[in-house]
Amino acid sequence: MKKSFLMGVAVAALFAGAASAADLKFAPGQDSKFNWKSYDEFKAAHADLKGQPLTIFGPWRGEDEAFFMSVLAYFTEATGIDAKYSSSENYEQQIVIDTQAGSPPNIAVLPQPGLLADLASKGFLTPLGDDNSKWIKDNYGAGDSWVGYGTYKGKDGKEAFYAFPYKADVKSLVWYVPENFEEAGYKIPTTMEELHALTDQIVKDGGVPWCIGLGSGGATGWPATDWVEDIMLRMQPPEAYDKWTTNELKFTDPAVVAAIDEFGKFAKNAKYVDGGVAAVASTDFRDSPKGLFAVPPKCYMHHQASFIPSFFPEGTKLGQDADFFYMPTFASHPELGKPVLGAGTLVSIAKDSKAARAFIDFLKTPIAHEVWMAQSSFLTPYKSVSTEAYANPQMKKEGDILTSATTFRFDGSDLMPGKIGAGAFWTGMVDFVGGKSAEEAAGEIQSAWDGIK
Report the CATH number that the domain containing residue 100 is assigned in CATH. Answer: 3.40.190.10
Q: Are residues 379 and 267 in the same domain?
A: no
Q: What is the pLDDT of residues 56-105, one digit of tens each?
A: 999 999 999 999 999 999 999 999 999 999 999 889 999 999 999 999 99
Which residues of 199-317 form beta strands (DSSP E)? 302-303
Q: How confident is the model at residue 22 (pLDDT cuts 50, 70, 90)?
A: low
**Residue 23: what pLDDT?**
74
**What mean pLDDT comes out for the span 205-209?**
98
What integer pLDDT is reported at residue 17 of this predicted model? Answer: 61
Closest CA to 222 of 367, 435, 425: 425
Q: Are 68 and 86 in contact (CB under 8 A)?
A: no
**pLDDT by residue (tens digit) across 98-115?**
999 999 999 999 999 999
Co-location of 146 and 203 in the same domain:
no
**At residue 12, does pLDDT exceed 50?**
no
Q: Examine the domain organization and report whether 25 and 108 are in the same domain.
A: yes
Question: Where do the DSSP E strands lie in 309-434?
Answer: 323-326, 339-349, 407-410
Let me know whether 333 and 250 are in one domain.
yes
357 and 263 together in one domain? no
Instruction: Write the CA distances from 233 to 241, 245, 270, 423, 425, integer angstroms.
Output: 7, 12, 26, 22, 17
Residues 278 and 399 in one domain: no
pLDDT in tens, 278-322: 999 999 999 999 999 999 999 999 999 999 999 999 999 999 999
**Same domain for 142 and 98:** yes
Do 83 and 200 sit in the same domain of this protein? no
Q: Which domain range does residue 330 map to?
A: 173-338+414-450
Same domain, 399 and 359: yes
Question: 9: pLDDT confidence band, cut at 50, 70 and 90?
Answer: very low
Task: Determine contact, residues 16/80, Cβ cutoff 8 Å.
Answer: no
Confidence of residue 14 (pLDDT cuts 50, 70, 90): very low
Side chain identity, residue 332 = S
Q: Length of the chain, please?
A: 453
Same domain, 180 and 205: yes
Q: 26 near 71, Cβ under 8 Å?
A: no
Query: Each residue of 143-183: pLDDT tens digit?
Result: 999 999 999 999 999 999 999 999 999 999 999 999 999 99
Mean per-residue pLDDT, 449-453 = 92
Q: What's the one-letter identity of residue 280?
A: V
pLDDT value at residue 176: 98
Q: Are strands 107-110 and 173-176 parallel, antiparallel or unpaired?
A: unpaired
Do residues 213 and 240 share a domain? yes
- 168 beta partners: 344, 379
Task: Give the chain's domain count.
Answer: 2
Residue 18's pLDDT band (boundaries 50, 70, 90)? Answer: low
Model confidence, pTM: 0.90
Model pLDDT for residues 388-433, shown as the tens digit of each residue: 999 999 999 999 999 999 999 999 999 999 999 999 999 999 999 9
Asked whether residue 373 falls in the same domain as residue 402, the answer is: yes
pLDDT digits (tens, 9 = 90+) for 186-197: 999 999 999 999
